Amino acid sequence: MDHSKILTQQKNYIASKESNSIQDRIELLKKLKSYIEAHEKEILDALYADFKKSHFEGYATELLVTYKEINLFIKKLKKWSKPKKVTPTLFNFPSSDYIYHQAWGQVLVIAPWNYPFQLAINPVLAAIACGNSVILKPSELTPHTAKILEQVVHAVFPKEIAYVIQGGVDTSTYLLEQKWDYIFFTGSVPVGKIVAKAAAEHLTPTTLELGGKNPCIVDETADIEIAAKRIVWGKLINAGQTCIAPDYILVQKKVKEKLVKLLIQEIEASYTKHVDQSPDYPRIVNEKNFERLAKMLSAEQLLYGGDINERDLYISPTLIDEPKLESASMKDEIFGPILPILSYTDFDEAEQIIHHYPHPLSLFIFSENTSRAKQWMKQFKFGGGIINDTIVHFVNDRLPFGGVGNSGVGQYHGKHSFETFTRKKPVLHRKTWIDLPFRYPPYENKLALLKRVKGWLT
């Protein structure tokens, strides 16, 4: 079907005042959940075909997160959608004041390849639950998952409510040239800037979920065994292709040697010494990303790993020793199973390294000194932070998820998704049974009285 016809149908539907009621939208969410449950194996098989991602990891990081979001919207949508009464100002007495939540209209969702199912379907279901129509552009780099996404969306939703348009850069360019009421993008910083520029042409509001170089600090008081276990898990899930994964470690010099030893032990305990044979270790998404990561290894001093197999798109878990800040592994976000380790002696030295880069999407610190850890959390700007773990803040829908500055614009998850895909619309209902003349001209002799009552009015 001609894409322009679909776009027009959705625009006409939004403008026609025929948008589904809240209960209709809840029924669509229930239908979506049932369809996903009935096709779990197909979805997990698609993720394996794109990444060699195990069914356990696929279920935990893609389906479970999606079920959680669907269930929350089904449970809370009616409550969230009710107009909220707010306290009126004395200046407008007598009146009743409300905040209504209104859908933006037609939404474009451009999804990434690293978690290609849940990072596509979750913003789509949230936008639809809020009363919007959606065009979803899945990533062409994960074609098997993109195909199943199209199957899911077209089976569950009428095309005037949601539709999938497949394609590469040309398709994205075409879609960004259109006028949207809202754009939701997840991906890299360079492409995020392109999206922001395109949105600015029409003054379209956006959410940009991007990334950055996420520091993981390990101080001398940390439980090093726990730190190693949780760092390895957070870094190597999805073979490191996770926007919130630790991008480099900053470890206090006194405990560096112990940490490195335990990181290696934990890698081998999780995936064996023959990581390429582990059924739980995914692969790099494509040749382009494989080559980018392989080049990083050629110029670095390795502490562990460095094995590659281009035919299998396999790169082993790799630890890099004290890279320079200008090196390939430290210049940009790694987005792979490569983990640079830098040491520091005091806070000032660590702070200088962290401030060398734009504000990250995540920051992690392992420390048993709670007051110090909290102070570090206050000191730096980042999207989301964790003390004594990695990446798990993502699963708490009560916490807003998003970046700051270079790592993103806007937040979502749970109620924060509802607030993203609706606009707060203020409404004031003024009563007519009294109409004080004070505000009307002429203003002669009224200024002195206004000054006397300003404390009541402000």
Q: Active-site residues: which are they? A: 209
- CA-to-CA distance for 248 and 360, rounded, in angstroms? 11
Work out the end-to-end distance of the chain between its first and last CA atoms, rounded to an integer number of angstroms: 57
* Amino acid present at 169: V
H helix intervals, 59-142: 64-81, 118-129
- What are the residues whose beta carbons fall under 8 Å from the beta carbon of 385, sequence distance 6 or more? 362, 363, 364, 365, 377, 393
3-state secondary structure of 324: coil
Given a contact cutoff of 8 angstroms between Cβ atoms, the answer to whether 400 and 409 are in contact is no
Given a contact cutoff of 8 angstroms between Cβ atoms, the answer to whether 134 and 161 are in contact is yes
- DSSP per residue, 421-436: SEEEEEEEEE-SS---
- CA-to-CA distance for 52 and 278, rounded, in angstroms? 11
Six token digits for residue 307: 């094995």
- CA-to-CA distance for 138 and 119, rounded, in angstroms? 9
Six token digits for residue 248: 């480099």
From the list 430, 409, 429, the residue with the least C-alpha distance to 420 is 409
* Amino acid present at 14: I
Query: How, if at all, do strands 338-344 and 318-321 pair?
Result: parallel
269 C-beta neighbours (distance < 10 Å), count: 13
Query: How, if at all, do strands 206-209 and 182-186 pair?
Result: parallel
3-state secondary structure of 346: coil
From the list 70, 72, 210, 209, the residue with the least C-alpha distance to 152 is 70
What residues does 315 pair with on adjacent strands?
A: 308
- What are the residues whose beta carbons fall under 8 Å from the beta carbon of 395, sequence distance 6 or more? 65, 68
